[in-house]
A and B are shown apart, each in its own frame.
Chain A
Amino acid sequence: MRGNPYIPYPALLKRSYFESDDFSLKTFEFELLDGNRIDYIPGQFCEISVFGKGEAPFGIASSPTEGHILKFTVNKAGLVTTALHEAEEGSILGIRGPLGNGYPVEKFRGKNVLIVGGGFAFTTLRSLLVYLLNSRSDYEEITVIYGARTPGLLLYREELFEWEKRDDLKVILTVDREFPGWEKQVGFVPQVLERTAPSSKDCYAVVCGPPIMIKFTLPVLEKLGFKPEMVYTSLEKRMKCGIGKCGRCNIGPKYICKDGPVFSLAQLAELPEDY
């Protein structure tokens, strides 16, 4: 990141396309201009600027192993995200980052990794999975459990179906209820996790999803024997500066933007429930 942390890099929107069949989620692929590049790890985020509308934080969905294109999947929800959804390919936007700590990928070496995702929170989990698969032999068993309300709301469907076919990876996809043509798992993520019952031995778990999913997933992980220091999640709060100055994203004395967004359950247990 450059000397003045408030100045975004100009970024060319190379490609954008709908990611979900309800048109609420779009994926954006950016290339930084003027020879700039950012070095990041999975789990970090950037502030995307739509000049004139403002900035908002988004987890990076690409993996640093994929090259210089930065990918984000964004839900159309407010002022900046609506402007982003309307931006044409070829537009110049701004990107500031990388921000935050990211997943502790170094700790995952030589261990089993369980990735549990729900809904459109799979973005940085995609980054993590692609990163792990890039040097597959550095890790032991990798298991992915990912669910959405409907098949059309699963992000990165084509990739998921390819990953499902691999024999060095266990991918379990689920939707909330029966759906015509859907022959994979049916049920909420916590239930599917309980049915699948992955071993907690030497295993790190990374969980991202809507609050309600997290709430019911954590007890299942505990039941499976996952220790709080082996379970990581990524938090969100309203943010502005992204560098721990503007104040609003604090949980107790920690700032999600700077000390997070990734925290272990052991770390969260030390903090007040202010999120």
Chain B
Amino acid sequence: MKKIEKEKLLKHLEGKGDLVRLDEARQDPLSATKSSHLPREELLLLFRLNGDKGVEIRVPEGKGGKILFGVPPCEARAVDLLDLTFLKDRIDPYYERKRRENVLFVLACNKPRSTCFCTSFGYGPFSGKYGDVFMVDIGDNLLVDPVTEKGSKALEGLELEEATPSDLEKMESLKRSAEGAITTVNIEGISEKLKKMFLDEIWADLAFKCVNCGACTYVCPTCYCFDIQDVERTNWGYRERVWDSCMFPIYSLETSGHNPRPTGVERMRNRIMHKFSYYPELYGEYGCVGCGRCIRACPVNFDIREALETLKEVEVAA
């Protein structure tokens, strides 16, 4: 690994893109990392009806990439998970452009929170394989390591020093103490088990206190469901996509009045199944990174870690 003073690195990044500082902000209520790839509202197209001449359609142009500085490993991993939906099968061009242009400077997480459980997913607060550049704050300096080609490019022209053995020792010690502060939930076998639990009565218990506010899905860095809406204007109208939530009744309500997920029970089941059964079945990865955001945002103190423990306890017929 190399090292550099943080101020020097920040100065180097000036003017290279819209710089978003996440390193010092302990408040990042809606995951700026997610919204820089999948904004809460995003213009898909503009349209204007011209009488007999038909319809004019315009596709908005991009605004250029962002440099996200200080992304925690969990949220960078979450972007990799979003790729599985947005860059597979049919590529989503809006997402793809941002993914290509944005540069992620990941910062190892020195101070995990009590709600963190990332280590349950086979990685941790010092995993250096996410984003474009991996950084560790060792106090006086940042240790840096490019992860991708894009990351190497972003560091080009910088004078980087070689990290000393004592720097690396510092990193190891920070890593040990960070990892030690994190709860690990043993989720081995949960996706296979969940496949047999669709009709289990446990979902009613799990959903009992949930008020279906959708806060968990809004703050979640891996939740991506969206709605598409038209806005009619006298001149240029537009079509946009906006975040949606599987916890809302209207998400699955059909025009006939039929709703396949009429109560919070079915919706809770789908949210957990999607992350812990369907995503693994489709892509071999859990749709959760253990960031604990949903736990902190929940107004009724629903803790996904407890839910996973409960699900593990349930006995299912083989």
Listed in ascending order, the chain A residues whose CB lies under 8 Å from chain B are 3-8, 10, 12, 33, 49, 51-56, 77-78, 81, 90, 92, 94, 211, 236-238, 240-241, 243-248, 250, 252-253, 258, 272-275
Contacts and interface: CB of A to CB of B under 8 A. Distances in A.
B44 interface: yes
Contact of B54 (A33, A52, A243, A258): A33
Given A5-B90, A244-B90, A245-B92, A53 B230 contact: yes
Interface in B209-252: 224-232, 237, 239, 241, 244, 246, 251-252
A8 B225 CA distance: 21
B172 interface: no
A72 to B, nearest CB: 15
A91 to B, nearest CB: 9
B254 A247 contact: no
Given A51-B47, A54-B239, A246-B241, 10 more contacts: A51-B237, A53-B232, A55-B228, A94-B57, A238-B252, A240-B226, A245-B226, A246-B228, A247-B226, A252-B198
Interface of B: 44-45, 47, 49, 52, 54-55, 57, 59, 85-86, 89-90, 92-94, 198-199, 224-232, 237, 239, 241, 244, 246, 251-256, 258, 260-261, 266, 270, 273-274, 277-278, 281-282
A54 B229 CA distance: 6
B227 A246 contact: yes
Contacts of B278: 250, 252-253
A77 B270 contact: no
Given A10-B55, A272-B198, A54 B45 contact: no
Given A77-B256, A78-B255, A275-B260, A245 B228 contact: no
Contact of B59 (A4, A90, A243): A4
Q: Is the interface of A mostly helix, strand, loop or mixed?
A: loop
Candidate in A33, A92, A237 with the most chain B CB atoms within 10 angstroms? A92
Contact of A54 (B52, B54, B59, B228): B228
Contacts of B44: 6-7
Contacts, number: 123
Candidate in B44, B45, B266 with the most chain A CB atoms within 10 angstroms? B45
26 contacts: A5-B93, A6-B45, A6-B239, A7-B59, A33-B54, A54-B228, A54-B239, A55-B228, A55-B230, A55-B239, A94-B47, A236-B254, A237-B254, A241-B228, A243-B90, A244-B90, A246-B228, A247-B244, A248-B252, A250-B270, A250-B278, A252-B273, A253-B277, A253-B281, A253-B282, A272-B199
A78 to B, nearest CB: 4
**3 closest residue pairs by CB, A with B:** A247-B225, A52-B232, A253-B278
B260 A237 contact: yes
Contacts of B255: 56, 77-78, 81, 238
Contacts of A250: 270, 274, 278
A249 B90 CA distance: 17
A216 B225 CA distance: 34
Nearest to B52: A90
